[in-house]
Structure 1
Amino acid sequence: MTGVPASATGGTGRPAPRGKLGTAAVNPVSVWNIANILTMIRLVLVPAFVVLLLQDGGHDPVWRAWAWAAFAVAMITDVFDGHLARTYNLVTDFGKIADPIADKAIMAAGLICLSGLGDLPWWVTGVILARELGITLMRFWVIRHGVIPASRGGKMKTLAQGTAVGMYVLMLTGPLATMRFWVMTVAVVLTVVTGLDYVRQAVVLRRQGLAAERAAARAEASEASAR
């Protein structure tokens, strides 16, 4: 790492010529970069995953294995697209919107289909989807005050959910079927615990933001009265 942003080097690893740095530094990142392409692949995989999972009534082991493969690829792209975007300065407005949509779409598709097939209780799907929707709305509630960073618990929750849904997609039997039940249990617990922690952080952040705004307003009023 040279410390010079990729946008300022023209992708060569060398600083831009004098006088051109300002122009190069403000060049927008192309939407057609590797991070966004991976996100778009994940979006395309959502309907493909659903079709594969529901083939032949949704209970054919071979089609379920293909559905698992599509789900696994989607989860892998989820790991890499965000990392690539941050590492190589490929963050775009499209990626900020499309990435979380793709994440929630593939997970929601898996949960709803599995519950519809009778493989997963509807209350599990309801808890997870309610949490994800609630947190999304919470982000809009506090967005003007700041952004709550992803926590280790949140990452563990995502990993547990992905692993559990993947295991339910496969038609497992015996000890593995028992194991997937406990993995899903862990996923649900982490979903609830991290959701409550996010609410706590959001409330604290909003209170701090409102307090800062009031302090700034008082300072402006004091300056105005002193003139």
Structure 2
Amino acid sequence: MPGQPQTDPVVPRARVANLANALTGVRLILVPVFLAFLFVGDGHETFWRAMAFTVFTVAVITDRLDGALARSYGMVTEFGTLIDPLADKALIGAALIGLSMLGDLPWWVTVVILARELGVTLLRLVVLRHGVIPASRGGKVKTTVQAVAIGLLILPLTGAWATGAWIVMLAAAVLTILTGVDYFISAVRDSRGRPARQ
């Protein structure tokens, strides 16, 4: 009404302590559990590799669930936005480094994937003042293929199954490079004031 001070509408903020963030926390806790199972004995015992695969799979599922919950039920928080990608990188990084240490994955694959993830993270920080560049569909596909490839390599597969696991991992490496280049191009466009590719 005239003569009365105008107030901004109250926008409800999600609580940090919510189910989505709790699932992210569970994923972080599962990382050392996964590594413990992966390295039991000589690191190639069938039972423990299957256990490591199970823990890795549960962690990947929490990644899908926490994002869906946060978006669908208004649970997005600054804490969750920060910690969720860190939990993802911790899980993928631990799996890649662990498999390379056991001799099940060439170090060049681990270096390529981790270098891309580190580069994209640094790029996000650089362009943060221009706004956040949303994840592309290619990036989401890359993440899924990476998870499938790592899961297959964790399992004690032989023969054609092992060959299939390697094909998926090579596809993940290629997607990692391509999406990294795509993200860089989008960031450059955004920093110049042009719309970034969605």
* TM-score of the pair, normalised by structure 2: 0.91
Q: Which residue of 2 aligns with 1:86?
A: 71
Q: Which residue of 1 aligns with 2:158?
A: 173
* Deviation (angstroms), 1:28: 3.4
Letter in 2 for 1:111: L
Identical counterparts, % of pairs: 55
Q: 1:183 aligns with which of 168, 176, 196?
A: 168
Q: Relative to structure 1, is the Cα distance of residues 24 and 88 closer, same or farther in structure 2, using a 3 angstrom cutoff?
A: farther
- Consecutive unaligned residues of structure 2, counting only runs of 5 or more, are 1-6
Letter in 2 for 1:200: I
- Consecutive unaligned residues of structure 1, counting only runs of 5 or more, are 1-21, 210-227
Q: 2:144 aligns with which of 151, 154, 159?
A: 159
CA distance in 1: counterparts of 2:159 and 2:173, whole angstroms: 22
SS in 2 for 1:208: coil
User: Does residue 1:41 correspond to 2:29, yes or no?
Assistant: no
Q: CA RMSD in A?
A: 1.5
Q: Which residue of 2 aligns with 1:140?
A: 125
- Structure with the higher fraction of residues in helix conformation: 1
User: Does residue 1:207 correspond to 2:186, yes or no?
Assistant: no
CA distance in 2: counterparts of 1:199 and 1:58, whole angstroms: 37
User: Does residue 1:100 correspond to 2:85, yes or no?
Assistant: yes
* Deviation (angstroms), 1:171: 0.9
Please tell me whether Structure 1 or Structure 2 has the larger radius of gyration of its CA atoms: 1
How many residues align? The count is: 188
SS in 1 for 2:42: helix
* Deviation (angstroms), 1:94: 1.3
Deviant stretches of 4+, over 3 Å? 22-28
* TM-score of the pair, normalised by structure 1: 0.80
CA distance in 1: counterparts of 2:173 and 2:154, whole angstroms: 17
CA distance in 1: counterparts of 2:169 and 2:135, whole angstroms: 21
Q: 2:102 aligns with which of 112, 117, 124?
A: 117
Letter in 2 for 1:52: F
Q: CA offsets, 1:199-225, max 9 Å, x none?
A: 00111111117xxxxxxxxxxxxxxxx
Q: Which residue of 2 aligns with 1:131?
A: 116
**After alignment, is 30-39 or 101-110 more displaced?**
30-39
SS in 2 for 1:197: helix
* Deviation (angstroms), 1:192: 0.2
CA distance in 2: counterparts of 1:187 and 1:146, whole angstroms: 28
